[in-house]
Amino acid sequence: MRSASDLWKINLGYNKFYIIIKGVVTLADNYQEAKAAYKKALEKVVQKNPERFEQFTTVGGLPLNVLYSQDDIEVINYLNDINFPGSYPFTRGVQANMYRGRFWTMRQYAGFATAEESNARYRYLLERGTTGLSVAFDLPTQIGYDTDHPMAQGECGKVGVAIDSLADMEILFDKIPLDKVSTSMTINAPAGVLLAMYVCVGEKQGVKPEQLSGTIQNDILKEYIARGTYIFPPKASMRLVTDIFDFCGKNVPKWNTISISGYHIREAGSTAVQEVAFTLADGIAYVEAAKITGQDPNVFGERLSFFFNAHNDLLEEVAKYRAARRLWAKIMKERFGVTNPKAQMLRFHTQTAGCTLTAQQPENNVIRVTLQALASVLGGTQSLHTNSMDEALALPTEKSVEIALRTQQVIAYESGVTNTVDPFAGSYVVESLTNEIEQGAADYINKIDDMGGMLKAIDAGYPQKEIQDSAYNYQRAIETDQAIVVGVNKFQTKESSAGRKLLRVDSSVGERQIKKLHEMKSSRDNVAVKEYLEDIRKAARNESENLMPMILNAVRVYATEGEICGVLREEFGEYVENIVL
């Protein structure tokens, strides 16, 4: 019997190809002969064992061949299309040695009830090895209402932590040194207010703004497309976004000023191609808006970050991240003339797919999350959050959060996939899918350009309709068993919820938060609050003035988020969605 090395020498020296089918070895003299032999053998096998589906596709709907070979990557030019890690177009990653140097930031998206309870959860996670925090805010905070507002009734602390003022933010980060921890905050319409609170907490800790590191989501366009936590009309919202770009560029230089999010686009039902396309189209709109204000993309481009979903189809997801990096690098270089390599890079955070978690057999979610996290790492993420197994039922318990974190740590320290850069590079199927996803996303972006840009496309309901159609098609595939979800439409079992521990937030949380809010208002300098709110009103009327310094002044004297957003509501108005069926 020949050894593996002997076979390698024969392949190299004699240009012979070995085809092994059903244990029979066939020797072919050239590639085309070997390919023909394979096809002939495949036909016989399929006749005996018919394939499961008429057509195989990725989760995102891309057709899959039975086999990929060198024919599928003939169009690839290594230096132009792939190149080495850390080099344009960054297909293989944004760092030359990636995880051999340092692992991704291990974040766990967390926040519930009051600032006190969320602070305890953050410290619990930090003690167990989390290397960055990710703040989930409750729904009233996300849409700019204080807890005592009628619109907030019954929602306090349910899907995240309630933050009404700087007083809450001080509690949220109590005993957490902001010069040593990177923090991500999922907040959009009132992003400037929460960023100002974070800066003020840093000041009170003796941490200068230039020492702060982290990310504010600040991505309002995807709210109009897929998520819905908007407040103001697009023009005013884009002004707030670019004001943050400018303010952080001058004052908080290590802060990522936006996390352009495909995550929520995918959660709403998009395909992988649509996730890349609509996310990068949003990115184009932000770059164009900042350029209009006189900002240089070579500068602010360094602080743009992205946020993607990690779905179940491992190969498609790996290819998706590689395609997104390459396409964004081309957009920045070719469309915007960016010459700074750091501003051409697509750096991204990943979260495993909440929409794939099932209430049935929730333990299976641990396996799903593991596959999704592995895809994120193989795709070169800079930051990762792993969902907990019980999130389809309730907010995660401490135990389930710990398992989710341990998933990342096992991948990092035990799997071996972090020891070499971009290990799937050169895979016929991954390179082919990378090309296909890039081209499909580019085609969508061209359509959006033809419509006049992303703002016009959103107003026409174009991305919303595309996502709705994709969500319908995927749900229909599940209901007709064309897509299998273990425990849902196959391998079902009778289950009992008895003994299952879930985290519940009761109504007393809102009552306690309102009491705390009213006590804070009675003890602050209300004259100063009124003056600084009036300064915000005046600045809002002057389109050339950056609102962030006025927001910062108001936050320092404990003006609430609801009061600040209330002034802006009066000046900017509120957005009303254009429903497209």
Evaluate whether 385 touches 109 at the Cβ level (below 8 Å): yes
Evaluate whether 292 touches 278 at the Cβ level (below 8 Å): no
Evaluate whether 173 touches 119 at the Cβ level (below 8 Å): yes
What are the beta bridge partners of residue 385?
107, 351
Q: What angle do CA 461, 465, 467 make, to 5 degrees?
A: 125
Per-residue pLDDT at 322? 98
3-state secondary structure 488-538: CCECCCCCCCCCCCCECCCCHHHHHHHHHHHHHHHHCCHHHHHHHHHHHHH
Sign of CA dihedral 73, 79, 81, 82: positive
User: CATH number for the domain including 342?
Assistant: 3.20.20.240
CA distances from 527 to 146, 164, 165, 559, 560 (A): 20, 19, 17, 11, 14
Evaluate whether 386 touches 134 at the Cβ level (below 8 Å): no
Strand, coil or helix: what is 18?
A: strand
Phi, psi of 444, deg, nearest 5: -60, -45
- Domain assignment present for residue 320? The answer is yes
Strand, coil or helix: what is 304?
A: strand
Q: How far apart are the first and last CA of the chain?
A: 66
Q: Give pLDDT tens digits for 157-213.
A: 999 999 999 999 999 999 999 999 999 999 999 999 999 999 999 999 999 999 999
- Domain assignment present for residue 365? The answer is yes
- Domain assignment present for residue 341? The answer is yes
- Domain assignment present for residue 260? The answer is yes
Domain that includes residue 342, residue range: 78-479
Which residues of the chain fall short of a pLDDT of 70?
1-29, 580-581
- Report d(CA 270, CA 293) in Å as an integer: 32
Longest CA–CA separation in the chain, Å: 90
- Domain assignment present for residue 484? The answer is no
Per-residue pLDDT at 28? 57
Evaluate whether 418 touches 412 at the Cβ level (below 8 Å): yes
**At residue 271, what is the residue type?**
T
Closest CA to 164 of 190, 185, 183, 184: 190
- Domain assignment present for residue 486? The answer is no
- Report d(CA 166, CA 175) in Å as an integer: 16
Burial 337-368 (b: 16+ CB within 10 A, else e): ebeebebbbbbbbbbbbbebbbebebebbbeb
Q: Give pLDDT tens digits for 534-551.
A: 999 999 999 999 999 999
**Strand residue runs (E) in 16-57:** 17-21, 24-28
- Domain assignment present for residue 18? The answer is no
Q: How many CB atoms lie within 10 A of CB 51?
A: 10
CA distances from 441 to 245, 261, 287, 401, 445 (A): 26, 15, 18, 34, 6
DSSP for residue 159: S
**At residue 371, what is the residue type?**
L
Evaluate whether 433 touches 58 at the Cβ level (below 8 Å): yes
Per-residue pLDDT at 577? 85
Evaluate whether 579 touches 238 at the Cβ level (below 8 Å): no
Sign of CA dihedral 274, 278, 283, 287: positive
- Domain assignment present for residue 375? The answer is yes
Per-residue pLDDT at 21? 45
Q: What share of the chain is helix, strand, coil (3-state, %, to 5)?
A: 50, 10, 40
Q: Total structural domains in the chain?
A: 1
Evaluate whether 555 touches 166 at the Cβ level (below 8 Å): yes
- Report d(CA 560, CA 563) in Å as an integer: 5
Neighbour-count burial of 288, counting CB atoms closer than 10 A to its CB (0-12 exposed, 13-18 middle, 19+ buried)? middle
Per-residue pLDDT at 507? 80
